[in-house]
Amino acid sequence: MRYFILSFFFILYTSAKAQDLSALYEKVKPAVVVIYTEERKLQRLGNTTAMVNAQGLGSGFLISDTEIITAAHVVDVAEKLFVQFLDGETIEAKVVSTFNEADVALIRLTRPKKNAVLVSLGDSDKSKVGEQVVIIGAPFGLAHSLSSGYISSKKSNTKDANPYTNTEFIQTDAAINTGNSGGPMFNLGGEVIGIVSQIKTVTGGFQGIGFAATSNIAKALLIDKKIPWTGADFLPLSGKSAKLLNIPQNSGLLAQRVVSTSPYGKMGLRGGTVEATIDGTDVLLGGDIILAFNGIRFEMNDETLKKLGDFASSLQSGDAVVLEILRGGKILSLQN
């Protein structure tokens, strides 16, 4: 009889929890979007390589009728962005701001979404290990799919003076797969406390360890600082790698991919064209190496990185930007 009673209450409990998740899902799912991207990637074609168009996939969520938060790696070097909503409507979008280390990004629709359903960013500091969470996204393109799990751990590095190196992640066992990136992690109150980022895997599939950037780091970087998107990704070079590429100073930033319509693309910055491996890292060589931003010489130290962070934060639309670059052994200047 005791076993029967315990089983009965367990069934009631699990049924109530399922109903709670179902109600939460119905409430927030219209705010979750699928993001389709078009990028330029280097691809081997026979005995040659060429830059070709490649399609990408991610998720995101509406915080206003025009603004969407997603993961930086989903949109950072996208030539084109299209956002698809639950009702099937698709609207083009533009990147506003990205932070690669924290893996958070803000994009803006080219026109407002009518009858937009919004979600709010919660206080991720209040979330606790063991708390249940819900993730909604588009794994493998399966839009508005739900997975649930628990917070396994929390990882934080927010003490650096340079905003580019600040990170904060929630670890979870909720299932995360390709296409989930950028999607929201909800607490049971329906607040977004994380932005899905990456998984730790050996096989390439999900193995129970996933990470989401916290809502608080997203608020701090995307809403408070609003450092503008540049439209390029870079590989920092110092020490042995800097000497190998004959950089005339201790450090530099090697351009990997540059979006043609981005601010840096319009300035004429060039990305890499040749695949190579340096110290076990796959890189694209042949691109410009940035030596200085508006006279601030790039060095891999806290003082310089702080100056560059402050410089980027202070930029307003139309401000002059001058890049000192190394191209083909010559030092040149690019200006907007």
Mean pLDDT throughout 270-291? 90
153 phi and psi angles, rounded to 5 deg: -170, 170
| Rounded-to-integer distance, Cα 74 and Cα 47, Å | 30
User: What gap in Å lies between CA 275 and CA 50, rounded to an integer?
Assistant: 11
**Interval 3-28: pLDDT, tens:** 544 454 444 444 445 558 899 999 99
| pLDDT tier at 56, thresholds 50, 70, 90 | very high
| Helix (H), strand (E) at residue 263 | helix 263-267
Phi, psi (5° rounding) for residue 186?
-100, 145
pLDDT band at 227 (very low <50, low <70, confident <90, very high): confident
Q: Give the pLDDT confidence score for residue 313 in this predicted structure.
A: 78
Catalytic residue numbers read 73, 103, 181
What does the pLDDT average to over 155-174? 81
Q: Which of 137-146, 158-167, 213-222, 316-325 has the lowest average pLDDT? A: 158-167
Calculate the alpha carbon distances from 260 to 79, 127, 230, 270 in Å.
7, 40, 11, 9
The 10s digit of each residue's pLDDT in 168-184 is 999 999 999 989 999 99
Give the dihedral sign, CA 264/274/103/64: positive
In this prediction the pTM is 0.87
* Tokens standing for residue 316: 């307003």
Neighbour count for residue 214 (Cβ, 10 Å): 29
Question: Average per-residue pLDDT in the chain?
Answer: 88
Rounded CA separation 177/25 (Å) = 19
Query: Looking at residues 242-257, what average pLDDT do you find?
Result: 93
